[in-house]
Amino acid sequence: MFLALRDLRFARGRFALMGAVVALIAVLGVLLSGLASGLADAGISGLRALPNTHMAFDAKATSEQFSRSTVEKEDWRAWAAAPGVEEAVPFGNTLANAVVTEGRKKGADVNLAVFGMPSDSYLAPEPTEGKGIAAGSNGIVISREIADEGVEVGDELTVDKSDIRLTVVGTVDETASYGHIGVVYADLETWRHLHYGLPGELPASARDQATAVALKLAPGADTAAVEKATGTRADDKEATYGASPGYTAESSTMALIQGFLYAISALVVGAFFTVWTVQRKAEIALLKALGASTGYVLKDAMAQVVTVLVVSTAAGTGVGLALGSAMIGKAPFSLTAAAVGTSSGLLIVLGVIGAVVAVRRITAVDPLTALGANR
């Protein structure tokens, strides 16, 4: 670091410019990873919060299964009886628009992502306030997203068109969204009324249907036979996220943007240190003529790279965190230590890789040129 630190001090204008570019990339990295996490939360945090390990969909539904899949009573019964299956209960989901007809926010429109499940099943939520869902009532438990809109326990919501009235009986203190809409939990019977838009008696065909079978499988459970027998396909929990509308497109778009950002950062750092190394060629030749090994010069150069990257990434990450904190609640944005750490770490690692390619030139510098061999 003898020469590295003194070079940094001496050429501080150049390094400040480079550092500013890296810091801006770090800011963008933090904001993008916050947005990616936020969008993922808004898209599938409701599914993530469910205690299942797998979800069995109609095998004919190959994309956006939550919108296209329908399963029957025989299916979840067959799944419940299959070996290695610890839990198998019907699960339904649907989106609905409602108006607060009783409560502090009377008249307010509320969008609902309704998750339906048997009220006595392992899927039913444990409310942190009020009571849980119950069969034979139109009671719902709301997530924090809906509560944040001012809806409270005891409020009454009326669903558009069908005029089905729902009563808020409890809340769960956790983030649960589906397709960017706050989740409410309802008994399966209530869900069926909402899904089919029928407030009265349900037709026989609708009574024994659900969207999917929510499974809890033992590790290594072989489900091939029951899948074949029921015409369903069990996806693990991660795979079910892709069944949520728009989730795969959103997450792959964000991953693509982040990938390009990291590639650009490696190229920018590599380009800067290529120019810097070329400019230093005479100095490197001199160092070698004075007896410095190639390892010494490389170590010094890499110490310079790491110093620039770490300091500017830390500064950029700090600014990114401050900006990101201001965005929480105003945009789908969530900051986690893991996401920020990964973003900053990748920026440093890829920057170092870019710089390694650049400073490799040091090995080719001939100390003979220090003698001014032009004579």
The binding site for other proteins (CB under 8 A) comprises: 2-3, 6-7, 9-11, 282-283, 286-293, 296, 367-368, 370-373, 375
Minimum CB distance to other proteins smaller for 222 or for 366: 366
Q: Of 4 and 27, which CB lies nearer to other proteins in the complex structure? A: 4
Query: According to DSSP H, which parts of the chain are helical?
Result: 2-10, 12-49, 65-68, 73-81, 144-147, 188-196, 204-207, 224-230, 237-241, 247-279, 281-289, 294-327, 337-359
Instruction: Please report where in the chains the tokens 């620039």 appear, as a residue.
Output: 308
Instruction: Between 208 and 283, name the residue whose CB sits nearer to other proteins.
Output: 283
- The CB-of-16 to other proteins minimum distance in angstroms stands at 15
Report yes or no: 115 and 171 within 8 Å, Cβ to Cβ.
Answer: no
Beta bridge partner(s), residue 100: 157
| Residues 110 and 146: beta-carbon distance below 8 Å | yes
Q: Which is nearer to other proteins, 16 or 370 (CB)?
A: 370
Cβ contact 113:152 at 8 Å: no
Please identify, using beta-carbon distances, which residue of 9 and 161 lies nearer to other proteins: 9
Residue with smaller CB distance to other proteins, 166 or 297: 297
In the complex, minimum distance from the CB of residue 368 to other proteins, in angstroms, rounded to a whole number: 5
Gap between the Cα atoms of 366 and 244, Å rounded: 60
* Least Cβ distance, residue 293 to other proteins (angstroms): 6
93 in Cβ contact with 214 (< 8 Å): no
Closer residue to other proteins, CB minimum distance, 1 or 225: 1
Give bridge partners of residue 165 from the DSSP assignment. Answer: 158
Give the nearest distance from C-beta 283 to other proteins in angstroms: 6
DSSP β-ladder status, 177-178 and 85-102: unpaired
Short-list 340, 353, 342, CA closest to 265: 353
Q: How far is the CB of 275 from other proteins (least distance, A)?
A: 16
> Measured from the CB of residue 300, what is the shortest distance to other proteins in angstroms?
10
In 3D space, the residue among 118, 252, 242, 125 whose CA is nearest the CA of residue 179 turns out to be: 242
For strand 129-130 and strand 109-117, is the pairing parallel, antiparallel, or unpaired? Answer: unpaired
CB of 4 to other proteins, least distance (A): 10
